[in-house]
Structure formats: C-alpha cells, structure tokens
C-alpha cells in the first residue's frame, strides 16, 4: 500500500522524536519515499544526519540554505506529497498549525499542503488534557486532518497518562489502511441524510429533536475520503463540511428533505439515512405568533410526514442499496428489525439511548448492524468517525456491491 507513496514527515521538538527514525525506516522498508521537514527544536532531539542517512535525502529545516542562499519551497513540497505526517507533534506545533502561525518551515509546508495530513501528538498528560490543546486538536480535525491519538502509558515526565505518542508500527498500519481504503468508492455516488428537521408551528416555534448531525457528517467525510461523491442532505446543524467531494444540500423540514432525497436518489449508488426526521408535523403553520391565552390549554393537531427511508427502499433498483438507522429506547433488536423489513432496507444501524455514550450529540456512538439475512453484529463504543468506518467496512465485507 505504501509503495511509491511520497510522504512528507514533519518532526517537532519532543523526546519522542527518536521514534521518528524508526518510523522513517519502516516507511522506506514498505517502499515509500520520505522527505523529512524538521523544526529547529526537533533538531535538538534527533540529528538531521541520522534522518538524511535513513531517507537518502537532505533534511529540510530552514527556508534558505545559509551558504548558497538556495530556497526550500514549501509550496513544491505541498504539491509533491501524497501525504503529510507530523510525528511527533508537540502542543506548540499543533497550536501553530491550528492558528496559521507560519514561523518555521514545517508549519509553512503544512499550510501549503494539498495532500491529507496525519498528526500524532506527543506530550505530557496535563498539556494534552489542557483545553487549549484540545481546542487546537478539534480545529485541526475541522480542517480535515486526521489525529492519531496518543496512548496511555509512562511519559518522559515520569508521570503516567494519556500523551504517549503512538508506536511507529501502529502509525504505519494507520497509513496502510488509509491508502487501502482511499480509492475504494471512486466514481460511486452516495446520498446521506443528517441532522434534525424543523416542523414549524408558527413563525417563531417548531417541533424538532436533539440530533446534532455529527453521525451523518462523519459518514459523509468517511465516504468522501474513500473516493465517493457525496450528496449530504442536512437539516439545520452547526457543522461544517470539509472534504471537497461533499456537496451539501441544506433543508429545514422533513418535507424538504423528502423532496431533495427523491430528486437525487435516481443517480445514486447508495443512500444512508442517518437524519432524525420528525415523524409528525403540525397540520397548519400559524401565520402569526400564537398568543398565550390565560388558563387555556393549547392543542396541536399533527399529521405524519413522508417516510424518506421507506420511499427510497421501495423505489430502489437492483444496483442501488439503502441503509437506514434506528434510534430506539426499548426492545431494540425487534424494533430495528421491523423497520429494516417495513422500509425494505439492505441493512439497518441500531443505536440505543439506553447505551451510555450512544446516540444524539456526543462524539461517540455504539451500534449494532442488522441485515435482512439475519446478521446481527455488535460493535463497542467508538468515536463517530470510527463508527462511520465500521459501517462502510461492513457494507464492503458483507458483499453489498453497489
């Protein structure tokens, strides 16, 4: 998977920098071409001589070579690379990357990078846990960068906790998995619904639910990173899309989501219906704000919204696949299996509000995938990003060609 891949390896000033030498060797052994860019502080921890001997290339650190004035182009590196890897990444470099502080060659190269970027933080546990570091990491994620989480273990400070850089062999595995999946969905068109819907009561009020859109957006990013063209129909959420292959269609009500989904579906290979669509809407939306009448109850009459999943399930052709979600609070497997059948889905992703860390709003989810052939596959609690990868891997591994 790494043969011929061009990798810019950014090294920063951490005690874990010595591990970058092992990483260099492992990447080259796998056939990758590695160009090291090191910060001035990084050179205090590992010498450029070691790194250039391993990579067979001069190490880049300054903007110019002092004796002949030759210019090292960060722009050229940004165009050359198939991937940039920052290992180890200190709190300081992460902060500079998150805020565009381009005062060294590594950060300038990062800002010019056209290829995907992976970051493996390494630092003391308190520095890692600090809100400043966590906010900067969140910012990097929102730019589409992949964070290779540090592990829990003994640290250079003699303390023990989360902050230990991931081992080089594991980092190589992450990159191999990335390149393996990268082209898997090329030329596939995938429709994803995400977020809540708003059903208007009057000009200032609506019926809705707690969906943040995080699960659906994680799926959209995962499919796009595997090469698909993604059409993301989203209810009102506070999230940004990052990948250029995601076309976002914003809607507000279930009716609007239904019309957009039906419009796009004929050209799609796969639809994943992750939105928390309101099942009912008020019969009428009042033209003016409904006034409070002292002592009187207010009765709202509701009518059912169209069922998007069922409409796509009923209309799908032999080459199209439809995946639904089921959000349950009781008798989970039975209810999800019933929805799978009724809506004619290929498989359904069950998440239960009884599971801590699952469902609405958080960054994690815990799912069970059920298909029409009787497969029931449980997954542990994971980040929504990892859950999205599990869903796409299961589709592939269970032979759902589309």
Q: What positions carry a catalytic annotation?
A: 209
Using an 8 Å Cβ cutoff, are 121 and 53 in contact?
no
Burial class (CB in 10 A: 0-12, 13-18, 19+), 340: buried
- Assess 351 for contact with ligand PMT (CB under 6 A): yes
- Assess 276 for contact with ligand PMT (CB under 6 A): yes
- Taking residue 7's Cβ as centre, other Cβ atoms within 10 Å add up to 24
Q: In the set 254, 322, 388, 392, which binds ligand PMT (CB under 6 A)? A: 254
Range in contact with ligand PMT (rule: CB under 6 A) among 109-117, 180-188, 207-215, 370-378: 207-215
Distance CA 104, CA 37 (A): 10
Q: Angle at CA 85, nearest 5°, toward 79 and 90?
A: 125
Cβ at position 376, least distance to ligand PMT in Å: 17
- Closer to ligand PMT at the Cβ: 10 or 213? 213
Residue 140: phi and psi, rounded to 5, are -60, -40
Cβ at position 152, least distance to ligand PMT in Å: 26
- Closer to ligand PMT at the Cβ: 78 or 195? 195
- Closer to ligand PMT at the Cβ: 32 or 369? 369
- Assess 215 for contact with ligand PMT (CB under 6 A): yes
Using an 8 Å Cβ cutoff, are 215 and 387 in contact?
yes
Using an 8 Å Cβ cutoff, are 87 and 96 in contact?
no
- Closer to ligand PMT at the Cβ: 182 or 344? 344
- Assess 150 for contact with ligand PMT (CB under 6 A): no
Q: In the set 38, 91, 165, 326, which binds ligand PMT (CB under 6 A)? A: 326
Distance CA 389, CA 382 (A): 10
Q: In the set 324, 366, 370, 395, which binds ligand PMT (CB under 6 A)? A: 324
# residues near ligand PMT by CB under 6 A: 28
Residue 242 C-beta-side C-alpha neighbours within 13 Å: 17
Distance CA 321, CA 35 (A): 42
Helix (H) or strand (E) holding 379: none
- Assess 277 for contact with ligand PMT (CB under 6 A): yes
Helices (H), 81-236: 91-99, 105-112, 125-129, 131-142, 168-182, 214-225
The token pair at 336 is: 């999800």
Q: In the set 19, 96, 214, 366, which binds ligand PMT (CB under 6 A)? A: 214
- Touching ligand PMT, residues 31-70 (CB under 6 A): none
Helix (H) or strand (E) holding 39: none
- Closer to ligand PMT at the Cβ: 61 or 305? 305
Distance CA 362, CA 312 (A): 28
- Assess 175 for contact with ligand PMT (CB under 6 A): no
What CA dihedral angle connects 65, 66, 71 and 75, to 10 degrees?
70
Per-residue contact flags (x/-) with ligand PMT for residues 91 to 130, judged by CB under 6 A: ----------------------------------------
Range in contact with ligand PMT (rule: CB under 6 A) among 46-54, 103-111, 243-251, 357-365: 357-365
Distance CA 321, CA 345 (A): 8
Q: In the set 12, 211, 364, 368, which binds ligand PMT (CB under 6 A)? A: 211
- Assess 327 for contact with ligand PMT (CB under 6 A): yes
Residue number, nearest CB to ligand PMT: 308
Distance CA 157, CA 225 (A): 37
Cβ at position 279, least distance to ligand PMT in Å: 5
Chain contacts with ligand PMT (rule: CB under 6 A)? 193, 195, 211-216, 254, 273-277, 279, 305, 307-309, 324-327, 339, 351, 359-361
């Amino acid at each position: 998977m790494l043969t011929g891949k061009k990798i810019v390896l950014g090294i920063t000033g951490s005690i874990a920098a010595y591990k970058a030498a092992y990483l260099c060797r492992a990447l080259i052994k796998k056939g990758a071409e590695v160009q090291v860019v090191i910060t001035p502080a990084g050179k205090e921890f590992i010498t450029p001589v070691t790194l250039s001997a391993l990579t067979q290339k001069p190490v880049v650190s300054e903007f110019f070579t002092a004796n002949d004035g030759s210019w090292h182009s960060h722009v050229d590196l940004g165009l050359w690379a198939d991937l940039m890897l920052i290992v180890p990444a200190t709190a300081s470099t992460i902060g500079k990357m998150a805020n565009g502080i381009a005062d060294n060659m590594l950060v300038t190269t990062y800002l010019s990078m056209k290829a995907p970027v992976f970051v493996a933080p390494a630092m003391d546990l308190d520095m890692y846990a600090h809100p400043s570091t966590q906010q900067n990491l969140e910012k990097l994620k929102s730019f589409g960068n992949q964070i290779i989480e540090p592990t829990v273990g003994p640290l250079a400070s003699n303390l023990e906790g989360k902050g230990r850089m991931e081992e080089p062999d594991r980092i190589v595995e992450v990159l191999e998995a990335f390149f393996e999946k990268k082209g898997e969905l090329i030329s596939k068109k995938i429709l994803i619904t995400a977020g809540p819907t708003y059903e208007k009561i009057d000009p200032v009020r609506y019926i809705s639910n707690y969906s943040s859109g995080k699960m659906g957006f994680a799926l959209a990013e995962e499919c796009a990173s595997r090469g698909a063209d993604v059409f993301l129909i989203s209810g009102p959420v506070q999230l940004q899309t990052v990948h250029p292959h995601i076309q976002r269609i914003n809607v507000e009500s279930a009716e609007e989501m239904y019309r957009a989904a039906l419009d796009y579906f004929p050209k799609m290979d796969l639809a994943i219906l992750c939105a928390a669509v309101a099942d009912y809407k008020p019969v009428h939306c009042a033209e003016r704000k409904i006034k409070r009448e002292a002592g009187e109850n207010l009765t709202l009459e509701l009518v059912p919204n169209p069922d998007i999943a069922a409409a796509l399930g009923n209309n799908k052709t032999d080459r199209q696949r439809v995946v639904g979600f089921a959000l349950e609070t009781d008798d989970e497997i039975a209810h999800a299996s019933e929805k799978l059948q009724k809506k004619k889905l290929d498989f359904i992703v069950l998440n239960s509000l009884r599971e801590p860390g699952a469902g609405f709003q958080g960054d994690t989810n815990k799912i069970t995938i059920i298909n029409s052939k009787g497969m029931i596959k449980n997954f542990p609690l994971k980040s929504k990003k990892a859950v999205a990868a599990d869903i796409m891997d299961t589709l592939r591994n269970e032979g759902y060609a589309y």
